[in-house]
A and B are shown apart, each in its own frame.
Chain A
Amino acid sequence: GNSVTQMEGPVTLSEEAFLTINCTYTATGYPSLFWYVQYPGEGLQLLLKATKADDKGSNKGFEATYRKETTSFHLEKGSVQVSDSAVYFCALSEGGGFKTIFGAGTRLFVKA
């Protein structure tokens, strides 16, 4: 079945450091890929998405590229801020009413 694997956290970085959170997926079809962010005590917010191979999703300085050949969708940001501290979930969906499947989440701490 479909699944998402993302790097374990927590990840602790200093402000302005480069961020990479790895995500790989297994899917039988051609899913869309997503990154969601969850701030403490809050709900899930869609951060970015990509719907087909080689698409790059980007938002708020974050970006991720849909790599079909490596079945990956790694999240990157060139310079993190303290306000980026949150839990990040990689997810996939094949649409057609199929559920969204989440990775385990990666907690990011950014120190001032």
Chain B
Amino acid sequence: AAGVIQSPRHLIKEKRETATLKCYPIPRHDTVYWYQQGPGQDPQFLISFYEKMQSDKGSIPDRFSAQQFSDYHSELNMSSLELGDSALYFCASSLRGNTEAFFGQGTRLTVV
């Protein structure tokens, strides 16, 4: 069965650079969620989209932005990267009305 695809799997950037993370949800899923997991931390919710509109917002820094496209894939754009942005970034997708979200394998971002 198709799963949530995230790319790239690993990314190394320098401070003050920008990064774009991509997420391809399970086919027919209409809701996408982004999470950030720092070392030894639980996943923290950043932002979600339903039908290409932002549906909820968590602890997402102003330096980050995200959007969902007409094919339902989503991109998380991160600018002016800081060392503290080094983390595992998860994307998840679900069908609205269902409680279970399916998680991708994550993108490990390292800022040096």
Residues on A facing B (Cβ under 8 Å): 31-32, 34, 36, 42-44, 46, 49, 51, 89, 93-105
Contact = CB atoms under 8 A, between A and B. Distances in A.
A65 to B, nearest CB: 17
Given A93-B101, A97-B96, A99-B45, 8 more contacts: A36-B103, A51-B99, A95-B96, A96-B96, A97-B48, A97-B55, A99-B48, A105-B41
10 contacts: A32-B100, A42-B105, A44-B90, A93-B100, A93-B101, A95-B96, A97-B31, A98-B56, A100-B45, A104-B42
Interface residues of B, number: 26
| From A44, A89, A94, A104, residue with most partner B Cβ within 10 Å | A44
Contacts of A94: 99
A51 B96 CA distance: 15
A34 B92 CA distance: 14
Nearest to B45: A99
Interface string B92-112: 101011111111111000000
Nearest to B9: A43
Contacts of A32: 99-100
The listed residue with most B CB atoms (<10 A of its CB), out of A42, A46, A93, is A93
Contact of B99 (A44, A95, A102, A105): A95
Interface string B24-63: 0000000101000000011101001010000110100000
A98 B104 CA distance: 18
Contact of A34 (B45, B100, B106): B100
Given A97-B50, A100-B101, A43 B43 contact: no
